[in-house]
């Protein structure tokens, strides 16, 4: 556990890191970014908490079991969205043209519209959940093991 | 064919990274240094993929408020994204293996951890 | 003897890489690009996404992303499994 200054700054800064990660995930079909990059940003916030507080403190609020369930649900949403268009072809983008994320942007350069992209924003959310939970679980397991703590079953 | 040589320096940089990593993988014996060599090999491959898809004077292939001009190729960038995530996963698995080997044998030398002992 | 063999292998690999990079690849900045031109022109109508890289990752080449997600899942499972097993074995012995 580091000093009180570091802990206070990390406490205030984790909110902005999480908001930036969610922004990168949610605007993945308009700006540079996407599920993997936003998930990595969120994992960097978790690593900052792990450095500022000790792994024993973080174990109370971030359970490995919860992270495993989140990662599995992200993978299930991803494969379920891929199977939802199986009537035409696997990974068919079945949401283009429907009211949900179905608008088609004007061809060529232009401002972005958040309601475009078909199932790509939903895929981004699923993959972001999966990457953030999975890599957080890996980092947390390594920190707990190297500090000699018990790993939660 | 010889007049293309001054244009191909980015490919030479990727070849240099791969050569450095092969030097590490052949001559070093520390397991952590071997993992660093594999990471440098992965960066060389990523740099080669991105340089393979560059188009002269191109913009990023994203249509939101892009200036006029050609766009670089999107497929090598997508494959580089895949490659980066796979590298992170493999790196985590290798580091876990090294932690367990150090707990078991007490050293990071690859010659000592090669022998099977119960 | 081992050092000499390693040095020979290293020199052969470096010579192969440098000659390949200089002689057998298209000039830097002018790639052959039929498939990528099709994707750049038609990605906005076909997938509705402004970001062409994301539409390639999730739509045109979804199978690659599926395999990548599988590898990530397997790696996370392997890390958790390895660290947890050793803990239990140390407790029992």
Could you report the per-residue pLDDT of A78-96, keeping only the tens digit for each? 999 998 888 888 888 888 8
B115 or A110, higher pLDDT: A110
Q: For chain A, what is the domain count?
A: 1
Distance from CA of C28 to the nearest CA of A (A): 24
Pair A139, A147: CB distance under 8 Å: no
Q: For chain B, what is the domain count?
A: 1
pLDDT at B118: 53
Task: To the nearest 10°, report the CA torsion of A92, A94, A100, A105.
Answer: 70
Q: What are the pLDDT digits (tens) for C43-67? A: 888 888 889 999 999 989 989 999 9
Instruction: Please answer yes or no on whether A135 and C76 come within 8 Å at the CB atom.
Output: yes
The residues, any chain, with a CB within 8 Å of residue B75's CB and separated by 6 or more, are B53, C35, C36, C39, C56, C60, C61
Closest B-chain CA to C17 = B15
pLDDT at C88: 55
User: Chains with 3 or more CB pairs closer than 8 angstroms to B?
Assistant: A, C
Could you tell me the pLDDT band of residue C84, with boundaries at 50, 70 and 90? confident
Which 8-state DSSP code applies to residue B7?
A: G
Burial of A20 (0-12, 13-18, 19+ CB in 10 A): middle
Enclosing domain of residue A66: 4-146
Closest C-chain CA to A152 = C84
Q: Tell me the C-alpha distance between B46 and B32, whole Å.
A: 21
- Mean per-residue pLDDT for A45-58? 90
Could you tell me the pLDDT band of residue A54, with boundaries at 50, 70 and 90? confident
Instruction: Please answer yes or no on whether B99 and A135 come within 8 Å at the CB atom.
Output: no
Residue numbers of B between 16 and 35 with CB closer than 8 Å to C: 18-19, 22-23, 26-27
pLDDT at B108: 87
One digit per residue, the tens of pLDDT, for chain B of length 118 reads 555 556 688 899 999 999 999 999 999 999 999 999 999 999 999 999 999 999 888 888 888 888 888 899 999 999 999 999 999 999 999 999 999 888 888 888 888 877 766 5
Nearest to A109 among B65, B88, B92 (CB): B65
Q: What are the pLDDT digits (tens) for A116-127? A: 888 899 999 999
Enclosing domain of residue B96: 12-105
Q: Assess if residue B117 is contained within a domain.
A: no
The token pair that represents A75 in the structure block: 């993978």
pLDDT at B33: 95
Instruction: Please answer yes or no on whether C49 and A116 come within 8 Å at the CB atom.
Output: yes
C54 or C87, higher pLDDT: C54
Look up the ipTM and state it: 0.86
- Mean per-residue pLDDT for C18-24? 86
Instruction: Please answer yes or no on whether B66 and A109 come within 8 Å at the CB atom.
Output: yes
Q: Assess if residue B69 is contained within a domain.
A: yes
Q: Where are the domains of chain C?
A: 2-92
pLDDT at C44: 87
Asked if pLDDT for residue C89 goes beyond 60, the answer is no
Q: Assess if residue B6 is contained within a domain.
A: no
Q: Assess if residue A109 is contained within a domain.
A: yes
Q: What is the percent of chain C where pLDDT is above 90?
A: 44
- Mean per-residue pLDDT for C33-48? 89
pLDDT at A80: 92
Instruction: Please answer yes or no on whether C79 and A138 come within 8 Å at the CB atom.
Output: yes
């Amino acid at each position: 556990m580091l000093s009180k200054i570091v802990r206070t700054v990390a406490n205030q800064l984790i909110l902005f890191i999480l908001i930036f990660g969610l922004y990168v995930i949610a605007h993945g079909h308009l700006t540079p970014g996407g599920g993997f990059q936003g998930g990595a940003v969120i994992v960097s916030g978790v690593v900052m908490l792990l450095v500022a507080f000790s792994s024993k403190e973080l174990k109370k609020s971030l359970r490995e079991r919860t992270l495993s369930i989140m990662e599995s649900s992200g993978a299930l949403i991803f494969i379920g969205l891929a199977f939802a268009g199986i009537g035409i072809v696997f990974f068919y983008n079945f949401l283009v043209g429907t009211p949900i994320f179905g608008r088609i942007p004007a061809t060529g350069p232009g401002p972005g519209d958040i309601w475009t992209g078909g199932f790509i924003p939903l895929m981004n959310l699923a993959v972001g959940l999966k990457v953030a939970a999975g890599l957080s679980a890996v980092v947390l397991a390594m920190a707990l093991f190297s500090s000699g703590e018990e790993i939660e079953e | 064919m010889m007049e293309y040589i001054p244009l191909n320096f980015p490919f030479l940089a990727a070849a240099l990274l791969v050569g450095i990593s092969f030097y590490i993988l052949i001559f070093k014996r520390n397991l952590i240094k071997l993992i660093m060599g594999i990471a440098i090999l992965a960066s060389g491959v990523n740099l080669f993929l991105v340089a393979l898809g560059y188009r002269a004077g191109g913009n990023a292939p994203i249509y939101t408020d892009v200036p006029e001009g050609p766009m670089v190729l999107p497929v090598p960038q997508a494959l580089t994204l895949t490659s980066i995530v796979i590298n992170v996963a493999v790196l985590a698995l290798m580091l876990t293996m090294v932690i367990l080997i150090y707990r078991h044998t007490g050293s990071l030398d690859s010659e000592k951890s090669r022998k099977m002992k119960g | 003897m081992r050092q000499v063999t390693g040095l020979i292998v290293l020199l052969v690999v470096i010579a192969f890489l440098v000659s390949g990079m200089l002689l057998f690849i298209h000039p830097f900045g002018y790639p052959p690009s039929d498939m990528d031109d099709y994707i750049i022109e038609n990605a906005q109508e076909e997938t509705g996404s402004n970001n062409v890289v994301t539409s390639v990752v999730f739509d045109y080449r979804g199978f690659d992303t599926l395999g990548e997600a599988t590898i990530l899942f397997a790696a996370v499972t392997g890390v958790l499994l390895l660290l947890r097993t050793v803990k239990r074995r140390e407790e029992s012995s």
